[in-house]
């Protein structure tokens, strides 16, 4: 090795068998751009397995430049990443080569940026209503993932005429367990979209946080969107028009005179008072053609609730295209709360 050269070790999360000669040449060319040197000055190049490991040598000054960019990038906030001087490192190395580690022989180990694990990505959690399932939201999860780069997660619970009928309390406990056991990480923040009875379940989950210590879900929550969800309950007479048998425990909990609903709403209001910083990110959406949940029942907590014209109780959460109002409205909500931004 030349006395004025430094050794570089770069680890990439790439498939070694697919990192062919053309990709290797492109990598070295891009590396030279970052380092501010000619490709001919990058010597003794080797690529090894272990994902993809690149070892090479380059002038010490060039190696210091690479180190400088990676150190700067590691501590940047999302706002700082828009600074023009950092655009090249973002484009060339984070997105294209998925670099996770870098060593220079003249310095200590530099951790560039650990790859974002699936459980570290922000998420949108969908909670369906009575008689719903994982298909209730149609293409809405796909459309929102496209707009926000968040992972869609759907909580499916037993509900319907012929299935078991756990109570709202049991379903809320189940939802919280599902979130805590499978979908929490220190980096992840999440939003919830709750349709119909799903909104009551979600309100109960966060009402329960009042009894917790420092491990509240509140810390991870960025936004809740209630869609056609009955704050004040639903008349059993309305449900009787579409449901031949309404003796299920879940349906009894939905009734406007339900003591369960009264208790949940009381606890929910206490939770809101304890989380005033989140209050403006608790939003409601309703359909103007909804014959099940009225406007007043769906908007009690949101004076600026959004109306989706001509949407009924089920079509409101099943957009056929990405430019429909429900998609654009929720995308705007997530932009306002800074849940995520498109790539």
Q: Rounded distance, CA 231 to CA 120, Å?
A: 32
Average pLDDT for the chain: 82
Q: Rounded distance, CA 97 to CA 10, Å?
A: 10
Range with top average pLDDT, 64-78, 116-130, 248-262, 286-300: 286-300
pLDDT tens digits along 60-89:
888 887 777 766 655 444 444 444 444 555
Higher-confidence residue of 204 and 342: namely 204
Q: Is residue 338 within 8 Å of 282, Cβ to Cβ?
A: no
Of 45, 109, 115, 42, nearest to 71 by C-alpha is 109
In this structure, of 45-49, 185-189, 249-253, the range with the lowest mean pLDDT score is 249-253
Place of tokens 């090249």: 88
What average pLDDT does this structure show over 87-95? 58
E-assigned strand segments in 62-204: 99-104, 110-111, 123-127, 151-155, 190-195
Q: What is the pTM of this model?
A: 0.64
Q: Is residue 225 within 8 Å of 194, Cβ to Cβ?
A: yes
In this structure, of 66-80, 116-130, 169-183, 191-205, the range with the lowest mean pLDDT score is 66-80
Whether pLDDT at 258 is above 50 = yes
Whole-Å CA distances, 151 to 138, 192, 225: 16, 12, 16
pLDDT tens digits along 213-249:
888 999 999 999 999 998 876 644 345 444 555 445 5
Q: Rounded distance, CA 190 to CA 215, Å?
A: 15
């Amino acid at each position: 090795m030349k006395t004025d050269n430094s050794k570089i070790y770069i680890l990439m999360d790439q498939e070694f068998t697919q990192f062919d000669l053309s990709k290797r040449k492109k990598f070295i060319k891009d590396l030279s751009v970052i380092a501010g040197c000619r490709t001919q000055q990058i010597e003794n190049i080797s690529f090894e397995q272990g994902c993809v490991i690149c070892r090479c040598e380059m002038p010490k000054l060039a190696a210091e430049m690479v180190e400088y960019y990676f150190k700067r990038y590691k501590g940047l906030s999302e706002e700082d990443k828009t600074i023009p001087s950092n655009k090249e490192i973002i484009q060339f190395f984070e997105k294209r080569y998925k670099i996770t580690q870098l060593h220079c022989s003249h310095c200590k180990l530099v951790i560039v940026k650990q790859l974002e694990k699936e459980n570290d990505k922000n998420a949108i959690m969908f909670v369906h209503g009575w008689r719903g399932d994982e298909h209730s939201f149609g293409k809405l999860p796909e459309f929102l993932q496209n707009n926000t780069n968040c992972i869609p997660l759907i909580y499916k619970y037993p509900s319907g005429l012929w299935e078991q009928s756990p109570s709202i309390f049991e379903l809320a406990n189940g939802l919280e367990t599902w979130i805590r056991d499978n979908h929490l990480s220190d980096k992840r923040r999440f939003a919830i979209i709750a349709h119909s009875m799903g909104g009551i379940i979600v309100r109960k989950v966060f009402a329960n946080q009042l009894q917790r210590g420092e491990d509240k879900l509140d810390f991870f929550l960025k936004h809740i969107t209630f869609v056609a969800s009955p704050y004040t309950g639903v008349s059993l007479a309305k449900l009787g028009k579409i449901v031949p048998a309404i003796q299920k425990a879940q349906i009894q909990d939905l009734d406007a005179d339900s003591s369960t609903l009264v208790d949940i709403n009381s606890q929910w209001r206490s939770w809101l008072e304890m989380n005033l910083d989140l209050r403006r990110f608790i939003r409601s959406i309703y359909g103007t053609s909804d014959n099940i949940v009225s406007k007043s029942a769906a908007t009690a907590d949101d004076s600026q609730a959004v109306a989706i014209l001509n949407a009924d109780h089920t079509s409101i959460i099943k957009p056929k295209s990405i430019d429909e109002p429900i998609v654009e409205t929720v995308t705007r909500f997530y932009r306002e709360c800074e849940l995520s931004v498109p790539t």
